[in-house]
Amino acid sequence: MRYLKAFIAIGVAVAVAVIIIIGRDARREAVFYPFGGIPLKVVAYDRSQAEFDEDMKAVSSRVAKLSSELDRHDSGSEIARINRDASVAPVVLGDDMERILARCYRWYPQSRGAFDPTVVPLIELWEGAGESGELPPDAEVDVARQRVGLGYVAITHDGRIMFAREGMGLDFGAIAKGFIADEVARLLVERGVARGIVDVGGNALAFGEGTFTFGVADPSSTRESQNLMGTVEVERGAVITSGNYERYVTIDGRRFSHIIDPRTGRPVANGLVAATVIGGEGVDADAMATACMVLGKEEAMGLLSSVPEVSAILVEHEGEDWRVWASKALQPRLNLSDNWADKVEWF
């Protein structure tokens, strides 16, 4: 009898322990579709269902607020109001806007103008060309270029923004996904989530203890097949890719990137088809990945060497040739599939 009691007690204890372990290790997931439908996926470990439900309520309202501030295509957003009014009179900046602009003011000079959130007139010119199917005349490219340059944006000491030229505009397409990932991760950490992942449209940010394994998209595969060129192991931080292979316009049968070289006023065409930046904050990795795409391999490596805490994978496509350059620090952590492994050089 005594043994039976002890046996039951141990059984109950084991069962409770198992439940606690399962409960603690649970991986919970939710998806949101802000910014006109970009999938934002949140993964949290070590959360009860009730805690996670509350977390997701908080994430939902934070993400809705960010969307109402940063989405240029939402006419009621803060950025849309700035783009409408800041050529005429100074516009007061909200906190998030001030913080994302602060990062733009870091990466614009550090990338020597390759990353420039004022490329709007050029984006619109090239989108229009994609719709009409005709290349824009040089004169129109020049006019649009006159309206591009973060140097023509002034922020007053009391937190207001003003454009020095007519027809200017801000676009955070190259930096917002990383910024949002950071913001959502910070919110989750503040709420007590010890480990998790925030993924904004395939751009991920991992936080907490331990390692995370991420797939790196294969830029030679179609959007539908979504192959991976390999996987990378990360200890917290961002894994953010900027690429030409998914979004482009076709003019005269030629593909043009949606990423613009502000220095030429034209879509980038330097052979790089994808740049993945690994490590650090999402906002910085996102800006850097886009800057790398604009700069091309050589200059991208220069930019990357000025930020030793991040690693990168650059993929070049020239004619029939595919080549990969990956940071030496990734050597033990990057597992490329067979058809990519023989194309990699470490830098």
243 contact, one of Mg ion, ligand ADP, none, CB 5-8 Å limit per kind: ligand ADP
User: Exactly one of 77, 83, 270, 290 binds Mg ion (CB under 5 A); which one?
Assistant: 290
User: Exactly one of 46, 78, 281, 286 binds ligand ADP (CB under 6 A); which one?
Assistant: 286
Does position 310 interact with Mg ion (CB under 5 A)? The reply is no
Q: What are the tokens at 160?
A: 């207001």
Does position 262 interact with ligand ADP (CB under 6 A)? The reply is yes
Does position 241 interact with Mg ion (CB under 5 A)? The reply is no
114: number of Cβ within 10 Å: 26
User: Exactly one of 286, 327, 334, 336 binds Mg ion (CB under 5 A); which one?
Assistant: 286
Compute CA 238 distance to the chain's CA centroid, rounded to the nearest angstrom: 8
What angle (nearest 5°) sits at the alpha carbon of residue 67, between those of residues 195 and 161? 115
Alpha-carbon span 13 to 32, nearest angstrom: 39
DSSP H or E stretch at residue 274: strand 272-278
Does position 117 interact with ligand ADP (CB under 6 A)? The reply is yes
Residue placing its CB nearer to ligand ADP in the complex, 56 or 260: 260
Alpha-carbon span 179 to 10, nearest angstrom: 49
299: number of Cβ within 10 Å: 16
12: number of Cβ within 10 Å: 10
- Sole window of 161-169, 212-220, 239-247, 313-321 interacting with ligand ADP (rule: CB under 6 A): 239-247
- Sole window of 53-61, 157-165, 286-294, 323-331 interacting with ligand ADP (rule: CB under 6 A): 286-294
The answer to whether 307 and 272 have CB atoms below 8 angstroms apart is no
Which residues from 36-95 bind ligand ADP, rule CB under 6 A?
none
Which residues from 174-193 bind Mg ion, rule CB under 5 A?
174
Least distance in angstroms from the C-beta of 319 to ligand ADP:
23
Least distance in angstroms from the C-beta of 279 to ligand ADP:
16
- Sole window of 7-15, 122-130, 278-286, 313-321 interacting with Mg ion (rule: CB under 5 A): 278-286
Total number of residues binding Mg ion (CB under 5 A)? 5
Does position 242 interact with Mg ion (CB under 5 A)? The reply is yes
Residue placing its CB nearer to ligand ADP in the complex, 90 or 201: 201
**Beta strands of 7-152 (E only): which ranges?**
27-32, 40-45, 91-92
x/- map, 169-188, ligand ADP, by CB under 6 A: --x-xx--------------
Does position 242 interact with ligand ADP (CB under 6 A)? The reply is yes
Q: Which residues of 223-235 are buried (b: 16+ CB within 10 A; e: fewer)?
A: eeeeeebbebebe
Does position 247 interact with ligand ADP (CB under 6 A)? The reply is yes
The answer to whether 170 and 81 have CB atoms below 8 angstroms apart is no
Q: Which residues of 53-91 are buried (b: 16+ CB within 10 A; e: fewer)?
A: eebbeebeebbeebbbbbbbebeebbbbebbeebbeebb
Residue placing its CB nearer to ligand ADP in the complex, 116 or 281: 116
Least distance in angstroms from the C-beta of 7 to ligand ADP:
58
Would you call 41 exposed, middle or buried from its count of C-beta atoms within 10 A (0-12, 13-18, 19+)? middle
Does position 116 interact with ligand ADP (CB under 6 A)? The reply is yes
User: Exactly one of 289, 303, 336, 344 binds Mg ion (CB under 5 A); which one?
Assistant: 289
The answer to whether 311 and 278 have CB atoms below 8 angstroms apart is yes
The single-letter DSSP state of residue 164 is S
- Site of interaction with Mg ion (CB under 5 A): 174, 242, 286, 289-290
- Site of interaction with ligand ADP (CB under 6 A): 114-117, 119, 123, 171, 173-174, 242-243, 247, 258-260, 262, 286, 289-290, 293-294
